[in-house]
Homo-oligomer: A and B are copies of this chain.
């Protein structure tokens, strides 16, 4: 085994060996058209033999770009987000970009920090899904001012300089609520997330609209805002169990919470869907496993990641229209046992 703990091989070393200039080596290595074929071959061979590795800092310093993309997400540890990231990684990797990932943990403070750090790292572009707490985009100004492109996905915020990749949460909320109404539900409530965020506000709006369109009552108890985790499902279930007038339908804004809610309700002897219909959102694998299987909205995580990545790349290449504002992916209503009363 060769120990090369010493100094890195540079283009100057190669140039010296080949008795040519460093610039020719640089050009040869990048397959520049102004270098003769034989010379290129010589350079490539020498580089390989000498164990040359390009120094990206020097290169980045010169070129003022990094081939690095920053990603800021609320949390990494959900099924949805991991499929999104997986999709992004695949695309960026194909295009020679590196991905730097950070989590806001649903906090605006951490989100600001992450974005500032990524900015300092001189990322070429940014993909962002906003935290629960984020109310405005001031913390993105440093990117906007520098003209660094930002693409939002899923949890977005309208901004003239940004493009977004989303699904139609309003429509999805409308569809799933309508479905529950068709199944005979008259008193449906919605377990939602932070109403600052488009995804949760839109799902709720869709729910409300469906209720109103069907002349069903909604009041201040129709919406429970939670943080949509496992515990929230248990707590909401217990809150509902303690109500005098229990709902006959519950539309939950994600599957995790819907599932833990179903488990808790079942423990208390509630029959799903006979006593209460339940629907979730996301089509996590868990929705196909819970008994009864959970009615939900299929939510294309991997595609969303791929589309967001592709969009950012085309912006970086200058191929993207200024007019494009948002890309809406198709969702679908997945009807399963948890809401099916009419067989």
Contact = CB atoms under 8 A, between A and B. Distances in A.
Interface of A: 1-5, 53-58, 60-61, 66, 68, 75-79, 81-83, 85-86, 89-90, 93, 98-103, 114, 117, 119-122, 141, 144-147, 230, 256, 259, 263, 285-286, 288-291, 302
A82 to B, nearest CB: 4
Given A55-B122, A285-B286, 4 more contacts: A57-B58, A57-B122, A81-B82, A286-B289
Contacts of A58: 57, 61
A3 B145 contact: yes
Contacts of A144: 1
A270 to B, nearest CB: 16
Given A61-B61, A82-B78, A146 B4 contact: yes
A148 to B, nearest CB: 10
Contacts of A55: 61, 122
A83 B90 contact: no
A53 B99 contact: no
B102 A100 contact: no
18 contacts: A3-B145, A5-B145, A53-B119, A53-B120, A56-B122, A57-B66, A76-B85, A77-B85, A77-B86, A82-B82, A85-B101, A98-B102, A98-B117, A99-B102, A259-B289, A263-B288, A290-B290, A291-B291
Given A53-B119, A82-B78, A82-B82, A5 B146 contact: yes
Nearest to A230: B285
A101 B119 contact: no
A107 to B, nearest CB: 12
Contact of A102 (B81, B89, B286): B89
B102 A56 contact: no
Contact of A82 (B76, B120, B145): B76
Copies in the complex: 2
Contacts of A259: 289
B141 A1 contact: yes
A2 B145 contact: yes
A57 to B, nearest CB: 4
A99 B98 contact: no
Given A5-B147, A82-B78, A90 B117 contact: no
Contact of A263 (B82, B90, B289): B289
A102 B60 CA distance: 21
Nearest to A289: B290
Contact of A145 (B1, B57, B75, B89): B1
A61 B53 contact: no
Contact of A79 (B75, B77, B147, B230): B77
Contacts of A99: 100-102
Contacts of A75: 86
Contacts of A60: 57
A145 B53 CA distance: 13
Given A99-B102, A100-B100, A290-B289, A54 B86 contact: no
Contacts of A119: 53
A184 B83 CA distance: 40
Given A4-B146, A57-B122, A291-B291, A103 B86 contact: yes
